[in-house]
Amino acid sequence: MAQLSALAHHIFYSQISTKPEINLSDACANNLLLSDYISQEEFNDFFSKQVMSYADIQGDLGLRTTILNNLYEDFNLEDISTFSGAQEAIFATYLALLDKGDEVVVITPCYQSLNHYVNDLNINFINFQLNFENDWKLDFEGLEKAISNKTKMLVINYPNNPTGAHLNKNEVIKLANIASKYGLYVLSDEVSAFSTIDAGDRWCFSNYYDKAISISVMSKSFGAPGVRIGWSLCKDQEINRRLKRSKTYLSICTSRTDEFICNKLIKKSKEILNKNNNIIFDNVARLNKKIPKNLWNVHNAGIVTTVKTKKEINLIIEDLLKQDILILPTSVFGYEGNYFRLGLGNLKAIDCFIDNLEHFFN
């Protein structure tokens, strides 16, 4: 049987016996309520007319059109495929493009599914580690040195989970040039790409490089993790053909009900994103007044940031659990030390963090 690597954040959750009431490390925007965006009539209409046959493997045409029209520029319908979450899209990409013994360079810290895969395939994940003390700045020369003749793919995640670091468009072009020079695929995990103050700071890597697979999803910027729809964007049709084949081994197609809901929500993306992003940026403004600059990084984008604590992180975790409060240490994302991921998507969670500052810093 193929051996799958255990994901550290799931191991961490499984060791906690109760489900804490407050999660200070949630990476999702404030979870939305469907009835705020979809009327009873629209649901009734869907339920009375929808036949529950398999849906289109590449993703419902109407949904793909809505995603492209509302969220992206310069893509064709053949460039986009839907998946059951970003999680499936990541796995499908590795299944489609990696061979036994390949090397993958991953900029870390990062979400665990990006540098873990089926153990038996001996995929060699080379972690290119960025640092808190250096403001998570990307060292392009160092990155180029990490690429060898075995490297098949570069994996990036911006805005980053767990750091909140982001790249500007010039840096994206620089990365695309490096990938092109070495003929690499790029998996660009962009799950919180729509959580920027300024829409001008948003980019999609696949607009800059044909062999890139950009991945996004409903769970993060939209705050709808229960709608299991993610998507990939890629301008190379051979890659898209292989992604589609991978999907036939996984979910085959996304749920018709989720496609319907997702289509309605994305048509209201301006309203939803404004609401969610205002919460994030109010939270950032509040934190700016409360936490010294050297204990967290200037927040650029995304829904999370990494905070450095003055006390031992495991003691803080224990202390907070007694009060039914959960935090995730960054060690589960491959970054050791007294740091944790702070979620910025929820007002109540930041209230709770501010009320408990002495646990972290005294």
Residue 359 φ/ψ, nearest 5 degrees: -65, -30
Minimum CB separation of residue 89 from ligand PLP in Å reads 8
Q: Which residues bind ligand PLP (CB under 6 A)?
A: 27, 85-87, 111, 157, 161, 189, 191, 217, 219, 225, 230
Residue 156: closest CA among 184, 118, 194? 184
Q: Are 334 and 110 in contact (CB under 8 A)?
A: yes
Of 47 and 249, which CB lies nearer to ligand PLP in the complex structure?
249
CA 11 to chain centre: 19
Length of the chain: 362
Which residue matches tokens 């460039």?
A: 79
The CB-of-341 to ligand PLP minimum distance in angstroms stands at: 10
CB nearest ligand PLP: which residue?
85
- Which CB, 30 or 161, lies closer to ligand PLP? 161
C-beta closer to ligand PLP: residue 25 or 356: 25
Task: State the minimum distance, in angstroms, from the CB of residue 358 to ligand PLP.
Answer: 29
Q: What's the CA gap between 181 and 149, in Å, rounded? A: 12
Rounded to 5 degrees, what angle do the CA atoms 310, 283, 333 make? 50
Minimum CB–partner distance for residue 190 and ligand PLP (Å): 9
Least distance between ligand PLP and beta carbon 230 (Å) = 5
Give 253 or 359: the residue with its C-beta nearer to ligand PLP.
253
Q: What is the smallest separation between the CB atom of 86 and ligand PLP, expressed in angstroms?
A: 4
State which residue, 217 or 325, has the beta carbon closest to ligand PLP: 217
Instruction: Look up residue 13 and give its amino acid.
Output: Y
Nearest to 326 by CA among 293, 292, 349: 349
Judged by beta carbon, residue 89 or residue 287, the one nearer ligand PLP is 89
Beta-bridged to residue 341, according to DSSP, are 306, 328
220, amino acid identity? K
Q: What token pair was written down for 354?
A: 């501010």
